[in-house]
Structure 1
Amino acid sequence: MIKYSISGWKIMVSVFLMALLTVPLASAEKKIFHGTGEYTMSDYETPEVAKQRAIAYAKQRAAEQAGVYVETYSRMNNMQITEDKVGVLVNSAMLIIEQNTEMQQLPTGDVRIVGKITAEIDTDTIKERNSNQDIDMLRMKEMYTYLSVENKKDEKEIARLKNEIKEMKSKELSTKDLQIEVKVKEQFFLANQKLNEASTLYYKNEYDNSMKIVNDVLRLNPKNEWGYVLRGDLFEKNKEYNKAINDYTNAINIDPESGAALSAYLGRGVLCYRKGEYDKVIMDFSRVLSMMPINNYSRELVFYVYCVRADLYYDRGEYEKAIDDYTKAIDINNKDAEVFKCRAVAYFAKEEYDKALDDYTKSITVNNKYAASYIGRAHIYNCKGEYDNAIKDCEQFIKYKGESSIKMDVPYTLLGIAYFGKIDYERAITYLEKAIEINPNNKAAKEVLEIVSKK
């Protein structure tokens, strides 16, 4: 049985929540940015792709202006935004409202394409994106970093190919193979532009439109690992889990060490958990933990992954590994009552009762209303013969039970045992009978009641 609540973690990693920040409509402010980009097209290039390159350069110019604005706005409004987060916010929040291109014939025979865009960012969108879960920001940061690197690489490769073609032409040599390579580069460039568009639609919850475009991405470039990750996310949204797992696996197979693979291991691990394939979960989450640095983006996610892997180790009877993972989780966040309780359970399974008692106490210190730890500690107190402490903890459990999944027959059984230990047989019988009334299958209560009844 899984002991650490996985519900919060599943929400974090299986879906990328868009936590909307409620603000008065009157507070929204829209800021307009203009960008101009140029691209020189040779006669062997595709005009539509060349236009997209000019527009891409124009977007870069507008994004630079928007980045300055977002940075200034965040400081004025006391928003904690790091430099790398500014880029993520701009890329995900900037909306293109107008774009056009014009072509100018050059004396060399080439064509200069001038792209112009008008874009806007509104402050509500900045706040909304900034309020996203850290895992959302981590995913967006990794993808936009990938796109930035690929675009720079593409720019250098196209420049190299153009120079080589020019040199080959001057020698009257065939440039057919090089021109084919240019066409391939064009496809990859278009794939990345569409990936950016599909990602933006995904974070706007326009999943059907995002799916159409990401299919184009993979048609243009079947080796685009982020395309597979995004489509895996979309399949997950549609509850097509086997298709999602297949796409996550495709992303991993392309480059097992990439940022896309990290996201794919995480997504695949979540879905394997849903399918009850826990050995696969451990394998995928182990990869996540080996690849993911602990920083402001990932801290909470790493905490939950350690907790869930610890639960799975516990269920396999690998208590030492479970304790090690719970300890690593505590090193990240020592303000979580549940993880101390979970480590206490693992220590108890190893019969290290003093350590278990200490962890139950730490759990209660973190949250004195955390009912489950009172029950665990009461059980140990009974084992140690500290019956008054056991009774107090059972009473605290009853006081704070709330929505705890532990049924009331458990504290009544422990109270019955405690009063039996105190030789108060009448109260012992009363509580044990209550426990059996609630749960007729409570074997422990029946056995103790049989003994007490003979006194």
Structure 2
Amino acid sequence: MKKQNVSSWKIVVSALLMILLVVPLASAEKKIFHGTGEYTMSDYETPAVAEQRALAYAKQRAAEQAGVYVDTYTKMEKVQVTEDRVNVLVSGAMRITAQKVERKSLSDGDIRIVANITAEVDSGDLERLLSHISKDGMDNESTYRQLKEKIVREETEIENLKKRIVELKQKGALTNDLQIESKVKENEFLSSQKAKQGYEMWLSGEYKKALILAEEAININVKNYIAYLIRGSSLYKEGKYDMALEDYNRCLMINNQCAEAYNSQGYLYYERNDNDKAIEKYNKAISLDPKKSIYYSNRGMVYYRMNNIRSAMLDYDEALRLDNKNEYAYNNRGNVYTNMNELDKGLYDYNKALSINNKIPNIYCNRGMLFLKKGEVINAIKDCDKAISINDRYVDAYIVRGNAYSQKREFEKAISDYSIVLLINPRFAEVYYNRGLVYGEKGDYKNAINDFNKTIEINPKFSEAYDNRGLTRWYTKDYEGAIRDFQKALEVDRNNSSANKHLTLAYEYMKNRK
């Protein structure tokens, strides 16, 4: 019986459609941080903006402390991160647990806003973020920088307007126009703050909250292009692909230089199996930002699926030339080498990827499949164990480990792993098929036939399932049923040489039997 290779070599980039559910770590710890921010509100400013600025300063103080902790934590965990990656991790992991805003009247008539916050970072959240950050193809570091630069720019513009208004008032000049302009800038600032909060929710996997905050940002300022980008990415995570594309297009109508919007469109088209559109969007993203490593590794993924191996490898090589810490590019190139049976090169790339970030389950699973291909079953099982310890719902790791146990003839363990997959995804035809093979190997023909029946129910075009059900029926002396299955296997796939051989032998046996 031939085992179905159900675990294709995964290209790890970005936008999976499911949130990864990670095993809570027994050693997870929470670190508490405090931040204080102050802001002096002028008589023509709105309290909402003043409070937001004070809170933003308080969060910044807490985030600076959290950044030191995250940097130390990643070093201890032997994960290589850039300063931008640390900032993204803080944005996604830091939770505000308490905040208090007070107003104090000053002697000159101004009002001082004082904000105090308490925040925490859970190491379990850091583990989760590290396991799938940038996995959906979104350039999180770029989005973080754009938001930060936008907020700083808006704060500077508001401060400059305040100074001009004060100067004009001192001269007795009218300031109505400037105050109107200041109000517009305040709304832009408030919108950016909402977008930032939405982005933080998106990073933490709370996509519904991210969607609500992005919509609030857009309601305040309909020209906030980053808010459309965040809302589009949230809609994508909710499975609303057409609406996501509309938001990416709105983002580009406001800012046609937003390379990240094209990148996000590229990944969405990739998920829709529209390779030509995906390439078109990635080309545009690269033309706008030719030094962005992730855009090349994303485009390489599409070329690889199109079987354009040369272009895929050129893109992965360029991605790594631009950023030799792009773990996904190493992983993706490792996948290509493995499928080409250049296993030593594939192993080198997987090892490099894991030396950069050892928290990504996909890479362990891919390396496990490589070990299985090399016949190193024990190493394959160890890698799958590690992948499952990071994400206990990562089905590919259970499948590969089940295949490894099957090779070791540890059938009960193999059946257990396949059964876990079927609890997570009860419509996984190939896993029913694999479990059926194992039942057959251990002589449990009744359960084997039940699993082949289920395989065929889900996928009536599964030729190998008919063939192996026929073989199992033959073992139970149901010769007529076996012959019908061999015939059906060939009806579905006339090139099924195994079914053709079994049918020929069956006819010969039945002829001699008479």
Pair in the same fold by TM > 0.5:
yes
The equivalent residue for 1:99 is: 99
Partners of 2:79 and 2:313 in 1: how far apart?
A: 32
The answer to whether 1:51 aligns with 2:51 is yes
Unpaired segments ≥5 residues, structure 1: 315-321, 343-359, 372-398, 409-434, 446-455
Which secondary structure does the structure 1 equivalent of 2:15 belong to? helix
Partners of 2:312 and 2:13 in 1: how far apart?
A: 20
- 8 Å CA contact 1:89–1:126 kept in 2: the answer is yes
Matches within 5 A, 1:13-162: 13-15=15-17, 17-18=19-20, 20=22, 22-24=24-26, 27-135=27-135, 139-162=139-162
The answer to whether 1:266 aligns with 2:263 is yes
Question: Cα 1:274–1:168, aligned 2, differ >3 Å: closer, same or farther?
Answer: same
Partners of 1:370 and 1:407 in 2: how far apart?
A: 24
Which secondary structure does the structure 2 equivalent of 1:101 belong to? strand
- 8 Å CA contact 2:207–2:238 kept in 1: the answer is no
Cα displacement (A) at 1:87: 1.6
Q: Deviations over 1:349-398 (max 9, x none)?
A: xxxxxxxxxxx564798559769xxxxxxxxxxxxxxxxxxxxxxxxxxx
Cα displacement (A) at 1:72: 2.8
Q: Deviations over 1:50-96 (max 9, x none)?
A: 11111111111111122222223333444433333222222221111
Partners of 2:116 and 2:247 in 1: how far apart?
A: 36
Which secondary structure does the structure 2 equivalent of 1:43 belong to? coil
Partners of 1:365 and 1:53 in 2: how far apart?
A: 52
Matches within 5 A, 1:372-391: none
Cα displacement (A) at 1:7: 8.6
Which secondary structure does the structure 1 equivalent of 2:139 belong to? helix
Question: Cα 1:437–1:340, aligned 2, differ >3 Å: closer, same or farther?
Answer: farther
Q: Deviations over 1:224-273 (max 9, x none)?
A: 22211221122223332221111111122322333xx42x2233234334
Cα displacement (A) at 1:137: 9.3
The equivalent residue for 1:182 is: 182
The equivalent residue for 1:303 is: 297
The equivalent residue for 1:415 is: none
Cα displacement (A) at 1:275: 4.9
The equivalent residue for 2:404 is: none
The equivalent residue for 1:12 is: 14
The equivalent residue for 2:284 is: 287
Partners of 2:62 and 2:338 in 1: how far apart?
A: 51
The equivalent residue for 1:328 is: 314
The equivalent residue for 1:172 is: 172
The equivalent residue for 1:439 is: 490
The answer to whether 1:211 aligns with 2:183 is no
Unpaired segments ≥5 residues, structure 2: 1-6, 318-328, 347-369, 375-406, 408-429, 435-460, 465-485, 498-514
Cα displacement (A) at 1:284: 0.7
Which secondary structure does the structure 1 equivalent of 2:44 belong to? coil
Q: Which amino acid aligns with 1:282?
A: I
TM-score w.r.t. length of structure 1: 0.67
Cα displacement (A) at 1:47: 0.9
The equivalent residue for 1:419 is: none
Number of matched pairs: 356
Partners of 2:331 and 2:202 in 1: how far apart?
A: 34
Q: Which amino acid aligns with 2:229?
A: V
Which secondary structure does the structure 1 equivalent of 2:64 belong to? helix
Q: Which amino acid aligns with 1:61?
A: R
Partners of 2:100 and 2:49 in 1: how far apart?
A: 14
Give the aligned CA root-mean-square deviation in angstroms. Answer: 3.9
Partners of 1:338 and 1:128 in 2: how far apart?
A: 23
Match 2:336 to one of 332, 336, 339? 339
Cα displacement (A) at 1:98: 1.4
Larger RCO (CA within 8 A; separation ≥ 6): 2
Which secondary structure does the structure 2 equivalent of 1:119 belong to? strand
Partners of 1:39 and 1:33 in 2: how far apart?
A: 20
Q: Which amino acid aligns with 1:199?
A: Y
The equivalent residue for 2:350 is: none
The answer to whether 1:233 aligns with 2:233 is yes
Partners of 1:130 and 1:334 in 2: how far apart?
A: 15
- 8 Å CA contact 1:41–1:47 kept in 2: the answer is yes
Q: Which amino acid aligns with 1:279?
A: D
Q: Deviations over 1:399-449 (max 9, x none)?
A: 9x99999977xxxxxxxxxxxxxxxxxxxxxxxxxx99953574899xxxx
TM-score w.r.t. length of structure 2: 0.60
Partners of 1:365 and 1:59 in 2: how far apart?
A: 45
The equivalent residue for 2:414 is: none
- 8 Å CA contact 1:17–1:132 kept in 2: the answer is no
- 8 Å CA contact 1:38–1:115 kept in 2: the answer is yes
The equivalent residue for 2:252 is: 252
Cα displacement (A) at 1:21: 5.1
- 8 Å CA contact 2:30–2:123 kept in 1: the answer is yes
Q: Which amino acid aligns with 2:268?
A: L
- 8 Å CA contact 2:313–2:333 kept in 1: the answer is no
Question: Cα 1:212–1:52, aligned 2, differ >3 Å: closer, same or farther?
Answer: same
Question: Cα 1:52–1:120, aligned 2, differ >3 Å: closer, same or farther?
Answer: same
Cα displacement (A) at 1:176: 1.0
Partners of 1:35 and 1:122 in 2: how far apart?
A: 17
Which secondary structure does the structure 2 equivalent of 1:38 belong to? strand
Cα displacement (A) at 1:113: 1.2
Which secondary structure does the structure 1 equivalent of 2:34 belong to? strand
For the pair shown, which has the larger CA radius of gyration, 1 or 2? Answer: 1
Question: Cα 1:368–1:86, aligned 2, differ >3 Å: closer, same or farther?
Answer: closer
Partners of 1:53 and 1:337 in 2: how far apart?
A: 46
Cα displacement (A) at 1:14: 4.9
- 8 Å CA contact 2:105–2:112 kept in 1: the answer is yes
Which secondary structure does the structure 2 equivalent of 1:114 belong to? strand
Partners of 2:137 and 2:274 in 1: how far apart?
A: 28
